[in-house]
């Protein structure tokens, strides 16, 4: 059953960073979910990723507000500190985040970051996103979910600039890659070894304004938009309907 409509005619929409990503992937799914209130297919909860995110936040929170360095920064030649701000926990909250107004449409755009590092000399902020995986190859941003991850960090960069922060174009993905090598059981506990990789991405936010305007226009019209050609959900619905009609 569709959930109760959240749309109020004439009211400026409120879009999360993930809503914009959904629009880019498939305008039809975005519209049916955000405008018509159709509940999307359930996703497998990434509970292990939630755990590694929490541990990484604990790791950098332990030195936040101090001038201490971290071995990861030293290994990668970074002159940064863990940025401290009284609203950091709100900015990290999935349903709160940092919220800004889009000047052209009046829409509210928000996103929840994992961390912020501040360059020690310039004071610029680096958006940091934690990622968890388990694969043989060293993680990279080419192929797979890489393009979506890049857009993710670029939207965050746009949001923080709109909020008045000086944000470096260089964002970081802190990947922890679970190793399948070695043993697991040790001293009455199961332990998994993670190999850490820090990936830098030079973001370009020039596309974000136009994306928001297009998403708002799609959301506010009455006609259901076309599906994206490569949308698995729409393909499944179409093929399932065809099978049932035979």
Determine whether 38 is exposed, middle or buried from the number of CB atoms within 10 Å of its CB (0-12, 13-18, 19+).
Answer: middle
CA dist 230 → 24, 27, 134, 140, 219 (Å): 11, 12, 26, 23, 20
- Indicate the pLDDT class of residue 23, thresholds 50, 70 and 90: very high
pLDDT category of residue 191 using cuts at 50, 70 and 90:
confident
Separation between Cα atoms, residue 219 and residue 7, nearest integer Å: 9
Residue 179, CA distances (Å) to 97, 144, 176, 227 in order: 32, 20, 9, 39
Q: What is the CATH number of domain 14-239?
A: 3.90.320
> pLDDT, tens digit, for every residue of 57-89?
999 999 999 999 999 999 999 999 999 999 999
The average pLDDT across 207-236 equals 95
Q: Say what the pTM is.
A: 0.92
Stretch 93-101: mean pLDDT: 95
Share of the chain above pLDDT 70, in %: 96
Domain residue limits, the chain = 14-239
Question: What does the DSSP 8-state code read for residue 40?
Answer: P
């Amino acid at each position: 059953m569709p959930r109760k409509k959240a749309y109020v005619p004439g009211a400026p929409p409120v879009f999360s960073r993930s809503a914009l990503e959904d629009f880019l992937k498939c305008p039809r799914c975005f519209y049916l979910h955000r405008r018509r209130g159709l509940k999307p297919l359930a996703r497998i909860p990434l509970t292990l990723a939630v755990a590694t995110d929490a541990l990484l936040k604990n790791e950098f929170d332990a030195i936040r507000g101090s001038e201490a360095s971290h071995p990861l920064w030293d290994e990668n030649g970074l002159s940064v500190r863990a940025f401290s701000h009284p609203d950091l926990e709100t900015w990290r909250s999935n349903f709160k985040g940092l919220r800004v107004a889009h000047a052209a449409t009046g829409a509210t755009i928000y996103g929840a970051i994992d961390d912020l590092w501040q360059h020690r000399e310039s004071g610029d902020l680096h958006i940091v996103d934690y990622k968890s995986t388990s694969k043989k190859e060293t993680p990279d941003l080419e192929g797979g979910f890489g393009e979506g991850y890049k857009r993710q960090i670029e939207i965050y960069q746009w949001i923080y600039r709109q909020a008045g922060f000086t944000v470096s174009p260089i964002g970081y993905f802190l990947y922890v890659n679970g190793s399948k090598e070695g043993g697991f059981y040790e001293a009455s506990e199961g332990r998994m070894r993670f190999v850490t990789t820090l990936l830098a991405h030079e973001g370009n936010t020039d596309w974000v304004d136009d994306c928001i305007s297009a998403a708002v226009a799609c959301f506010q019209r009455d006609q259901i938009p076309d599906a994206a050609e490569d949308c698995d959900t729409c393909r499944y619905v179409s093929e399932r309907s065809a099978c049932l009609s035979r």
